[in-house]
Amino acid sequence: MQAEHRDHVHGSDGHRHPVDFDPTAAGPDPFPPEGVGGRPLRIGIGGPVGSGKTALTAALCRTLGEELELAVVTNDIYTTEDADFLRQAGVLERERIEAVQTGACPHTAIRDDITANLDAVERLCERYSTLDLVLVESGGDNLTAVFSRGLADVQVFVVDVAGGDKVPRKGGPGVTTADLLVINKVDLAERVGADMEVMLADAHRMRGELPVLAQSLTDDPAASAAADWVRQQLAAHRSAVGPAAG
């Protein structure tokens, strides 16, 4: 079958996305990873609509905001909803939060044309010259959406139990290749009939050695385990940067 016959066509302009039946494939990353020297760690937070990306971002800001120089970039298609939510929740100073309006499928802005996000990161770095960490939250997308390594040094993919316990075994590059897979809203598992043992076993089977974290932000609003993972990533980033630039 020729590639164009497998393309997925959608949107009012009928634009195309290639469909790949390999659940681990994301297509080539258009940008190389950026050198880490002298700049903050950038962590991408992606995942399907409503899985809890903003709630996780807010929790990480609350937990880490006192100990780290932290800023956030949000992505929404038509609004600045997520940035507005974070500002209203008071998780960080308002100026530490930048909103990108993608105007197109969220994956476009985090992978195909990362300019608007890089500009937002740059504005934050100009405003706060000693940033340790920038969290870049993607707009909600589907299982194929992952960050370019030119934008995010490491990425978290957030799915939730309400999407059904089948989600991890459906694969997709977010599930299979993200540096951390978060299975969120485990407090709802029983109510929605999701079998956590199945979800975790499938997630580990799909990801090999890569870590999987089951959490409930209702039960643990500090997102303690995710915050620990962020601290580890930051330590690794700092050791890569070296003492002179760190």
Contact residues for ligand GTP (CB under 6 A)?
A: 49-55, 82, 140, 184-185, 187-188, 216-218
List, as residue ranges, the binding site for GTP.
47-54
Cα-based distances in Å from 69 to 22, 28, 29, 136: 39, 32, 29, 15
Shortest reach from residue 7's CB to ligand GTP, in Å: 25
List, as residue ranges, the binding site.
47-54
**Helix, strand, coil: what percent of the chain each, to 5?**
40, 20, 40
Shortest reach from residue 52's CB to ligand GTP, in Å: 4
> Which residue number, 50 or 164, has a Cβ lying nearer to ligand GTP?
50
Beta bridge partners of 186: none
Shortest reach from residue 58's CB to ligand GTP, in Å: 7
> Which residue number, 60 or 217, has a Cβ lying nearer to ligand GTP?
217
Distance CA 84, CA 180 (A): 26
| Minimal CB distance residue for ligand GTP | 140
> Which residue number, 185 or 207, has a Cβ lying nearer to ligand GTP?
185
Distance CA 193, CA 47 (A): 21
Q: Which two tokens stand for residue 106?
A: 């969220």
Shortest reach from residue 128's CB to ligand GTP, in Å: 24
Strands (E), 124-186: 133-137, 154-160, 180-184
> Which residue number, 140 or 237, has a Cβ lying nearer to ligand GTP?
140
